[in-house]
Structure 1
Amino acid sequence: MDVAVKRIEEAIANNEKILVYGDYDVDGTTSVALFYGFLDSFYRNCDFYIPDRYKEGYGVSEAGIEWAKTYGFSLIISLDCGIKSSKLVEKAASYGIDFIICDHHRPGEELPPAIAVLDPKRDDCPYPYKELPGCGIGFKLMQALVSRNPGWHPDPNSFLDLVVVSIASDIVPITGENRVLAHYGIRQLKECARPGLKALMSLSGITQKINITGIVFGMAPRINAAGRIAHAKTAVHLLLAASEEEAYHYAEQLNIKNEKRRDFDASITEEALAMIEEDETLKMAKTTVLFKDSWHKGVIGIVASRCIERYHRPTIILTMSNNRATGSARSVPGFDVYNAIASCSELLVQFGGHMYAAGLTLELEKVAAFQRKFEEVVANSIPEELLVPVVDIDTPITFNQVTKKFFNVISQMAPFGPENLSPIFIAEDVKLASSLRVIKDKHLKFTAVQDDRKLEVIAFNMAEHASRIANGEKFKIAFSIEENNYMGHQSIQLNIKDIKFE
């Protein structure tokens, strides 16, 4: 960190051109908006660069290095990428361009020859908290710069609304420092969010429900849609917007892209699930690895997650890009998909990522061999119990104990997310009280009763239980407790995670 700070101070003192470089997903675009927004507020000789998902692919690209050379940049600060870009960092150095890498992905065996590499997952890094997102690493660099240069403004804490969006969207643990940053970031989203995020919250309808879940399902898909359907620069422009008018202009563009993304997502998911259903070998496998050259590269990660919802196992969805197969991997709780992919590295051109999400590229003729090897690696290492979806129950409870006061106590444990999940309760001898509705042919909403105490419940993707519930059968439910805001009216609602009939 001291080396990184010194090099940035030197660049500013010498009026060098500084390029802030980030990836095209939510963590990358929030990282760029955070650090470029900070730098540009007092130093004008800087710019930002986001690679094109389709022309350049993930992370630091050759085209990005050439662009930096053409426009006379002498320092690149990469955020949320770069930890495996040794050859490109060397190439930049040959052009007289220094690199500072701020990343949170796992390093390879050798670190890139950058001026400084800030990554808490380095084996030799003593930083006490290891799970910051890429935007969090940028935030720490900004804090370090301001601590050494008190005259540099704005205050790093004014960027916490961006930090919490990256924490939520990148599915990092909401523990330790992340939980603190997320808590204050959510407070900022509620009280004084930047115009771009305010516009996103309005368009996604989460102004009354600003929490980690609201960010993940409301804001993140719209920010991601920029890079999935076109170019992620639109997302950065939105996050940097200075006025509400400008913010709404960009937010509406992202909303349109997100609608297109949904269409691609739905059709490709349908195709992928059909491929599994039609192949007995695939149905019985411990993994899902599917390839089709026409699938839209921008949604294959989402499709992998959808496949896991149906078939609970490590999943990789591949498509063709630049005459190679490129893919996104997703995992099930408790299984390290990154390590499994690393065990197949001899078949890959490149790969990178986390325990639960990774990306990879390989030659087209090696797809079949990779499918076989990945299945073999996972089958030999995954415990059977991880292949069965489980709802972990914290404690039994009765409806009479579910009060506003009890909900307020639970809320003090928020923000909830990975490794700090909202408590899950179980209640027995429950039945329908009234008003059973099926929403969009998929979800259930009704009033449930236990011992004369009635509560509103929502059950996502459980429409298949409608007839048994309507017939008055008793059941037990696993659920979390949440607050429902409708037309200004607040009420306690149970969010059902599973139903079992007695």
Structure 2
Amino acid sequence: MRWTLKPKPEAHKLKHLMEALQVNETVATLLLQRGIETYEAAKTFFRPSLDDIHDPFLMKDMNLAVARIDKAIADGENIMVYGDYDVDGTTSVALVSSYLKTIYPNIASYIPDRYEEGYGLSFQGIDFAEDNDISLIITLDCGIKAIDKVAYASEKNIDIIICDHHRPGTELPKAVAVLDPKRDDCNYPYDELCGCGVGFKLIQALSSKRGQTIEDLFPYLDLVATAIAADIVPLTGENRTLAHFGMQVINSAPRAGIKAIIDQLKKTSLTITDVVFVVAPRINAAGRISQGLHAVTLLTEDDLEVAKQYAASIETYNTERRALDQEITKEAFEQIEKLEEQERFTTVVYNENWHKGVIGIVASRLIETYYRPTLVFTKSGDKIAASARSVKGFDVYNALEQCKEHLIQFGGHKYAAGLTMKEEKYQDFKDAFEEVVKNTIDKNLLTPEILIDTKITLKEITPKFYRILKQFSPFGPQNMSPVFMSTQLQDNGWAKCVGAEKDHLKLNAVQQRSNPIAGIGFNLGDKLSTVKNKKPFDAVYSVDENEWNGNVTLQLRLRDIK
């Protein structure tokens, strides 16, 4: 691991913020590193308000989208709400369809089949709309590159409103309205919304025309927070506000479908991390193993007992997904180990029998081990499809763009993308992708980095300090849980390996006669010799709580030891 200590903020800014907020140097440092330099900015950060949510009509084409939906309602048209099959897409469809149904009955929901139709707006989906006399489609979390599909729909007299957050290509589809804060000509103040966030802006605009306020939309924020967490978008600005209030809904009055998932977990209070690792995978499992529409059905069900039945069936999909994930990851490892090649800058694997629904998860697993830009391919109809994942600091989307002559289509973000190509192009693409990455990546990025906020002493870790740290949540990209470094620590003799495989490290750290504080380092069991016999060591860690037999104590969540 590379340890990178963030630069110390400028002294005059530090002094000003410490005095303005009456906080210590460590807290002021953490705030300045997150771009918070004034009392007012800190107040907004620590006390998010619904007043911080922007006017939806600042988004390009919003007025056109609202006008077209109002016309459809006035004329009695059938409307289809169409979304991608992942968490962002299914929560978006649940959000927009359930809101529209409160004002108009003729609403259908549609999620494409991952295997039959693939990602995004599909010809089959448009044909379904035509067969069912649907004249308006609202796409969510997809559509920004669907130029040919929008043209196809237009030939059938079907209008399309696109709500997306992915990067547009050089040309926009000729839709009635294109809502995407990443459009070059869109001046919306915040461009890091997820797909469900864009969908929320649409219902916010529609509701404002009906005399409703942002408070009336509060019950929908559990869906928005789930999508923000799952889609790994920055936890800054409007996303932070939406996630803050969405987590309140999740923990106090979640919709039946989310409550049904939570009830299975036997947890009383969820953090955004719980949503990422526990709630989101279950919603995702429906689209990965069966049909994403199951997730929409769960998330729009009002009856808790019925929702529990849906949640139980989705839990079955999740169990199956986990088994597939483990099996395919093992096969991918075996394939890589057989390759006996010179040093490579990428990891690219292919097996036509791998389940398309879990190749993205497998790509993430391979990154954890090999830490290279990674592509996992499988067969998809008469083509092959891949999920791409990247290492921190490297834009895999740009790398794919430089290989696009080998591809049929691709799309996504800096760190995650999807693509399809003809099978015979696989080796040419693999070679081209390796060459692009080799020539453009900073070689330091091939070693995992731990970004350290600041150096502290163990004496600073008090209950009051932890209460302040908790107020920095919800955590996510650009507002990660603070990471600290302490030097010249010793274990007081309790260090040992724990866990079924003895691969986790447990210790009690002391520093210059401070009180001991427990530390747990997952997968750091091999570091036991570094801390045994009271040898001095440096540690990188975050601070959290450990609950054991009803006692709650602070502990170090160790990231690395040297």
1:377 paired residue number: 436
1:393 paired residue number: 452
2:56 aligned with 1:19, yes or no?
no
Taking a change above 3 Å as real, the CA distance of residues 414 and 126 of structure 1, as seen in their structure-2 partners, is same
Structure 1: unaligned runs, 5 residues or longer: none
1:20/1:78 contact within 8 Å kept: yes
Determine which of 163, 167, 176 is the counterpart of 2:224. 163
2:138/2:163 contact within 8 Å kept: yes
Whole-angstrom CA distance in 2 between matches of 1:77 and 1:486: 49
Taking a change above 3 Å as real, the CA distance of residues 105 and 397 of structure 1, as seen in their structure-2 partners, is same
2:245 paired residue number: 184
2:512 aligned with 1:453, yes or no?
no
Whole-angstrom CA distance in 2 between matches of 1:328 and 1:432: 46
Partner amino acid, structure 2, of 1:258: N
2:39 aligned with 1:39, yes or no?
no
Whole-angstrom CA distance in 2 between matches of 1:397 and 1:457: 15
Give the CA deviation at 1:148.
Answer: 1.3
Taking a change above 3 Å as real, the CA distance of residues 434 and 496 of structure 1, as seen in their structure-2 partners, is same
Among the aligned pairs, what percent are the same residue?
Answer: 50
2:293 aligned with 1:248, yes or no?
no
2:531 aligned with 1:478, yes or no?
no
1:116 paired residue number: 177
Partner amino acid, structure 2, of 1:495: R
Give the CA deviation at 1:464.
Answer: 2.7
1:55 paired residue number: 116
Taking a change above 3 Å as real, the CA distance of residues 304 and 205 of structure 1, as seen in their structure-2 partners, is farther
1:264 paired residue number: 324
Determine which of 441, 446, 465 is the counterpart of 1:406. 465
Determine which of 285, 291, 294 is the counterpart of 2:350. 291
Determine which of 282, 290, 299 is the counterpart of 1:222. 282
1:484/1:490 contact within 8 Å kept: yes
1:128 paired residue number: 189
With structure 2 as the length reference, what TM-score do the two structures score? 0.85
Give the CA deviation at 1:156.
Answer: 2.1
2:389/2:415 contact within 8 Å kept: yes
Whole-angstrom CA distance in 2 between matches of 1:240 and 1:488: 36
2:255 aligned with 1:194, yes or no?
yes
1:441/1:463 contact within 8 Å kept: no
Give the CA deviation at 1:4.
Answer: 0.2
1:432/1:470 contact within 8 Å kept: no
Give the CA deviation at 1:489.
Answer: 3.9
Q: Map of 1:201-212 to 2, 5 A cutoff?
A: 201-208=262-269, 210-212=270-272
2:297 aligned with 1:232, yes or no?
no
**What's the CA shift string for 1:62-89, capped at 9, x where partnerless?**
1111111111101000000011111111
Q: Map of 1:283-362 to 2, 5 A cutoff?
A: 284-362=343-421
Q: Which has the higher contact order (CA 8 A, sep 6+)?
A: 2
Taking a change above 3 Å as real, the CA distance of residues 206 and 499 of structure 1, as seen in their structure-2 partners, is farther
Taking a change above 3 Å as real, the CA distance of residues 354 and 489 of structure 1, as seen in their structure-2 partners, is same
2:493/2:532 contact within 8 Å kept: no
1:20/1:46 contact within 8 Å kept: yes
Comparing 393-402 with 368-377, which one deviates more in the overlay? 393-402
Whole-angstrom CA distance in 1 between matches of 2:333 and 2:181: 38
Give the CA deviation at 1:255.
Answer: 1.4
1:2 paired residue number: 63
Whole-angstrom CA distance in 1 between matches of 2:502 and 2:386: 29
Taking a change above 3 Å as real, the CA distance of residues 250 and 472 of structure 1, as seen in their structure-2 partners, is farther
Counterpart secondary structure, 2:127: helix
Whole-angstrom CA distance in 1 between matches of 2:416 and 2:500: 30
2:562 aligned with 1:491, yes or no?
no
Taking a change above 3 Å as real, the CA distance of residues 366 and 204 of structure 1, as seen in their structure-2 partners, is farther
**What's the CA shift string for 1:267-310, capped at 9, x where partnerless?**
1111212222232326x111111111111111111111111111
**What's the CA shift string for 1:384-412, capped at 9, x where partnerless?**
11111111111222222111100111122
2:495/2:528 contact within 8 Å kept: no
Whole-angstrom CA distance in 2 between matches of 1:65 and 1:126: 31
2:430 aligned with 1:368, yes or no?
no
Q: Map of 1:68-79 to 2, 5 A cutoff?
A: 68-79=129-140
Counterpart secondary structure, 2:451: coil
Counterpart secondary structure, 1:453: coil
Counterpart secondary structure, 2:182: coil
**What's the CA shift string for 1:234-289, capped at 9, x where partnerless?**
1111111212212211111121111111111111111212222232326x111111
Taking a change above 3 Å as real, the CA distance of residues 110 and 474 of structure 1, as seen in their structure-2 partners, is same
1:338/1:356 contact within 8 Å kept: yes
2:458/2:514 contact within 8 Å kept: no
Give the CA deviation at 1:436.
Answer: 3.6
2:337 paired residue number: 277
Counterpart secondary structure, 2:97: helix
Whole-angstrom CA distance in 2 between matches of 1:38 and 1:485: 40
2:199 paired residue number: 138
Give the CA deviation at 1:203.
Answer: 2.2
2:521/2:558 contact within 8 Å kept: yes
Whole-angstrom CA distance in 2 between matches of 1:470 and 1:263: 37
Counterpart secondary structure, 1:128: coil
Whole-angstrom CA distance in 2 between matches of 1:182 and 1:458: 29
With structure 1 as the length reference, what TM-score do the two structures score? 0.95
Counterpart secondary structure, 2:117: coil
Give the CA deviation at 1:468.
Answer: 5.3
Whole-angstrom CA distance in 2 between matches of 1:197 and 1:445: 34
Whole-angstrom CA distance in 1 between matches of 2:267 and 2:458: 27
2:505/2:525 contact within 8 Å kept: no
Taking a change above 3 Å as real, the CA distance of residues 311 and 126 of structure 1, as seen in their structure-2 partners, is same
